[in-house]
Amino acid sequence: MCGIVGHIGSNNSVEKVLEGLKRLEYRGYDSAGVCFKDQSGELSLYKKTGKLVNLTNLLKNIDYGSSSSSVGHTRWATHGAVNDINSHPHLYKNLAIVHNGIIENADELKKDLVAKGFKFKSETDTEVFLGLLSFELEQEKDLLKATSSAFKKIKGSSAFVIQSKDSDGIITVKNGAPLVCGVNEILGEAMVSSDPYALMGFVEKIFFPDDDVICFLKKGEINFYDLDGTPSNRYLAKDLETNFEATTKGQFEHYMLKEIYEQPALIRNLVDNYFKDIDLNLEKPKRLHIVGCGTAFYAGMVVGQIWEKRLKIPVSMELASEFRYKDPLLLPGDLAIFISQSGETADTLAAQKLCKDRGIKTFSIVNVEGSSLFRAVDQNFLIHAGQEIGVASTKAFTQQVLTGRIICEAFADNKDFSSLKQKFSLLSHRIDELLNKAELFKDIASKIYNFGGFFFTGRGIYYPVALEGALKLKEIAYVHAEGYAAGELKHGPIALIDERMVNIAIVGPELFEKTLSNIQEVKARKGVIIGIGPEVSELRNICDLFIPLTFEGLEELSPLYVNVANQLLSYHIAKHKGTDIDRPRNLAKSVTVE
Ligand code: F6R
């Protein structure tokens, strides 16, 4: 979480950093700040609680146009309250820093620094690094060496950008947190950021440094050093498209809605991207572990059911935060799939490292090319979802499941993808039809948004989308919602059912009768039933409100179709609630802390 940006080069440095922060705001929006070198070479600091717009308002009457070096930050608070003082950048004497991550031994280091006379202004762990750095600089008299010495003393995952009044460059270093640098040799500029998206259109070449590589950015060049000060080649270099158009909402009120509506086209693109020869560098596994967090984990649950049925191998679906600490049983011939939109989720990365260290082959289903996960695994399968800006994940879920479905077919050694291709086309067509029924979702949302709580229920292949539906609703509408296996309600949660409780009951053709009985049980206790299922009278008649779907031909892909209905419902409920749909409170898109 937190977005960091740094720039050195032409005079409009602050503008570029602000544009970078705008593109990174999905990473956190508790506060934002910028520090730049002014005309007299002094560091000028501006920071403000709340979204980036508060900072840009603060800067309205400030003359920053001539600055050619600046660092900026958008915060997702970890250490210390959300306020101006805890906002980044942090400034001490001639040094300014921005930080993404957590310093795990901050308390211990802080005691030492206080004893040495360092006066802390904020409650952040970041200031601990600033204190260390300033003491090291007093001794070393060299910013590179001081950065290295200070960085070696901290534990945890962090990325820093450091600006010094006395240096003609900016320095950046990271361990376990995302960071990418870029250069534009023609314009004589260099930039750094938490995500390549913030650099697009500004630089032509990007570099993903490995952990513990110090990058020294100057006008039009970057030099890399290992922590012992020797030049380093531990980075991945890539060219970047320079003619970039920032993603906009277009005709849509929110990015989330736009991303929901992009799904049919993305499914069609996936067909073009994958239904050729799929190169598998990996053997068919004896057992499979599928690992992810949140929405990516639920996508993994859908994928896992498909793989187990199709390949007849045992599949375990694992939450990365649990898997990494449970000392999992990993055997020769096992394969582990890591699913992630960002490719930067700390728990997912740690789980992948654990498998790699134990000699297990790993592959990713990931959206961000060049991300930490992308660079760590044996083979990557990109989901081709494009930039997902809405903090609540929508289109990535669909693409993750479909990519998993395709790879499964390749492992089954089926070279004829024609019937799967047809199923994908049918899915995109059905989702298109559903998206044309916006009025139905608006109407239902207007009738239920004020109820006391929501249970999403489903069985079998629909259980994971019941979980995902509840997650989406609570994230963006701030209402209490739970996802449950429909057959489990009677084992406890049914105690909560009364006339204030809504049951969003997902009923597919699989286990139709059984799911219907579960609905009857809720109905008998006065629960409000919103049915999502096939247009049949037994179902429609017991539902208070109904969303008819056509399942024929979709089979194992039908959970994705249902999920779009859930997405639309959550979106319209959130609209009634008046929440900040694209940037819900307390959340950040890329969870780079444990
Ligand atoms: C929910 C959501 C999160 C993410 C989770 C994993 O809408 O977006 O639950 O799915 O934080 O993130 P990635 O996929 O980037 O690893």
Pocket probe mutation, ligand 1, options 366, 591, 594, max atoms within 8 Å of Cβ: 591
3-state DSSP assignment of residue 401: helix
CATH of 3-242, one of 3.60.20.10, 3.40.50.970, 3.30.70.580, 3.30.930.10: 3.60.20.10
Q: Which residues contact 36 (CB under 8 A, 6 or more apart)?
A: 13, 14, 17, 43, 44, 64, 67, 69, 70, 71
Q: Is 589 a catalytic residue?
A: yes
**Distance from Cα 344 to the centre of ligand 1, integer Å:** 10
- Give residue 189's pLDDT: 96
Query: Which residues are 161's β-sheet partners?
Result: 98, 172
What is the dotted CATH code of the domain comprising 437-586? 3.40.50.10490
172 in contact with ligand 1, CB cutoff 6 A: no
Please identify which of the residues 47, 110, 575, 589 carries the catalytic annotation.
Answer: 589
Output the residue whose Cα is nearest ligand 1's atom 10.
295
Please state which CATH number belongs to domain 248-436. Answer: 3.40.50.10490
Residue 85 CA to ligand 1 center (angstroms) comes to: 29
Report how far ligand 1's centroid is from the alpha carbon of 61 (Å). Answer: 38
User: Which residue type does 303 have?
Assistant: V
Pairing assessment for the beta strands 31-37 and 69-75 based on DSSP bridges? antiparallel
The residue nearest atom 6 of ligand 1, judged by CA position, is: 293
Q: What is the pLDDT of residue 120?
A: 96
Q: Is the CB of 592 under 6 A from ligand 1?
A: no
58-93 tens-digit pLDDT = 999 999 988 999 999 999 998 899 999 999 999 999
Ligand 1 touching residue 591 (CB < 6 A): yes
Q: Is 347 in the pocket of ligand 1 (CB under 6 A)?
A: no
pLDDT at 277: 67
> Among residues 2, 35, 181, 408, which one is catalytic?
2
Which residue has a Cα nearest atom 16 of ligand 1? Answer: 340
Instruction: Say if CB 34 and CB 74 are below 8 A apart.
Output: no
Local confidence pLDDT in tens for the 594 residues of the chain: 799 999 999 878 999 999 999 999 888 889 999 999 988 899 999 999 999 999 999 999 999 988 999 999 999 998 899 999 999 999 999 999 999 999 999 999 999 999 999 999 999 999 999 999 999 999 988 999 999 999 999 999 999 999 999 999 999 999 989 999 999 999 999 999 999 889 999 999 999 999 999 999 999 999 999 999 999 999 999 988 766 777 789 999 999 999 999 999 999 999 887 777 677 777 889 999 999 999 999 999 999 999 999 999 999 999 999 999 999 999 999 999 999 999 999 999 999 999 999 999 999 999 998 889 999 999 999 999 999 999 999 999 999 999 999 999 989 988 788 889 999 999 999 999 999 999 999 999 999 999 999 999 999 999 999 999 999 999 999 999 999 999 999 999 999 999 999 999 999 998 999 999 999 999 999 999 999 999 999 999 999 999 999 999 999 999 999 999 999 999 999 999 999 999 999 888 878 777
Q: Is the CB of 69 under 6 A from ligand 1?
A: no
pTM above 0.95, yes or no: no
Residue 396 alpha carbon to ligand 1 centre in Å: 9
Quick one: CA torsion of 382, 383, 385, 387, rounded to 10 degrees? -40
Which of 389, 393, 582 to mutate to test ligand 1, by most ligand atoms within 8 A of the CB atom?
Answer: 393
Domain ranges of the chain: 3-242, 248-436, 437-586
429 residue type, one letter: H
Task: Give me 82's structure tokens.
Answer: 């959300």
Cβ of residue 475 lying under 6 Å from some atom of ligand 1: yes
**pLDDT for 242:** 64
Q: Which atom of ligand 1 is nearest to the CA of 373?
A: 16
- Whether 125 lines ligand 1, by a CB cut-off of 6 Å, is no
Quote the pLDDT of residue 1: 77
Nearest CA to ligand 1 atom 9: 294
Torsion sign (Cα): 275, 276, 277, 280:
negative
Ligand 1 neighbour 342 (Cβ under 6 A): yes
**Substitution site in 194, 341, 366, 374 for ligand 1 pocket (most atoms within 8 Å of beta carbon):** 341
Sequence-ordered list of residues with C-beta below 8 angstroms from that of 117, at least 6 positions apart, any chain: none
- Cα of 208 to ligand 1 centre, how many Å? 22
Contacts of 336 (CB under 8 A, 6+ apart): 288, 289, 290, 291, 330, 351, 352, 355, 360, 361, 362, 363
Q: Do domains 3-242 and 248-436 have the same CATH topology?
A: no
pLDDT of residue 39: 84
2 an active-site residue?
Answer: yes
What pLDDT score does 32 carry? 97
d(CA 516, CA 507): 7
Selection from 567, 586, 300, 284 nearest residue 438 by Cα:
567
Atom of ligand 1 nearest to the CA of 292: 16
Backbone angles phi, psi at 503, to 5 degrees: -110, 110
pLDDT at 386: 92
State both tokens at 465: 């989308």
